[in-house]
Amino acid sequence: MARRPRLNLAGVPQHLVQRGNNRQVCFYIDQDYAVYLDKLKEYSRRYKVAVHAFVLMTNHVHLLVTPTTPSGVSQMMQALGRYYVRYINITHGRSGTLWEGRCKSSLVDSEHYLLLVSRYIELNPVRANMVAHPAEYPWSSYQHNALDKQIELLTAHPLYLALGADITSRKAAYQALFKAHIPDYSLKQIREALQKTWVLGDSRFKQQIEQQLGYALPKLQHGGDRKSQRFRAVKASTTLIP
């Protein structure tokens, strides 16, 4: 069965995840995290990709980015992946592949999902029971988006800037978003779109993507849950913080 083609559009945010082959470790020591972030900054600037959020887990990476060209994300991830594999193999005396094939990705509806995906990414260490709060994890963009650490590779998305009139108010508003629980159905939507290299957004956003692509997106099979009265009732009763 042919792979689903990757959806790359200039100006449309993407949620990316790259995992270690067979879930193996990708980061062994603190230096490894620092090297990855340094090269991410270098290649994101070279290929004109804005990085809004990230988390480096032991065996995988999540990124939230917006490219300015259709090929920017692919070029950035290929260059970063090649460099980092060579670095890890030389530094830690290993050989062979590090990554589990090409990275997974999904297009993200900014208006409804961008800040939600940013929270999803930065909450990964909490869901993995590594820390009790994202502020305790050193290798994520929460340190910059919500706290006082300056991370040069990050570029604020307009929706983040709209959270407040100044840096202090924006960081406070962003911290407040984390007081709300991400509903299970939203977690499922994010993961499904990512796993299937798909679109995370409402019907209007998907129509806009189809117009930009010049062809209709095939429909995914969701089963009965999303159309059921129970799903609609749960969705209507749950406040979704963007």
Which tens digit of pLDDT belongs to each residue from 73-112? 999 999 999 999 999 999 999 998 999 988 999 999 998 9
pLDDT confidence of residue 219 = 63
Can you list the domains of the chain with their CATH numbers? Answer: 14-237 (3.30.70.1290)
Q: In this model, does residue 162 exceed pLDDT 80?
A: yes
CA distance 116 to 241: 7
Q: In this model, does residue 236 exceed pLDDT 70?
A: no
pLDDT confidence of residue 217 = 67
Q: In this model, does residue 226 exceed pLDDT 60?
A: no
CA distance 183 to 213: 31
CA 36 from chain centre, in angstroms, equals: 16
Q: In this model, does residue 8 exceed pLDDT 70?
A: yes
Look at phi and psi of residue 17 and say left if phi exceeds 0, alpha if psi is from -120 to 50, else beta.
Answer: beta
Which tens digit of pLDDT belongs to each residue from 24-74? 999 999 999 999 999 999 999 999 999 999 999 999 999 999 999 999 999
The pTM of this model reads 0.87
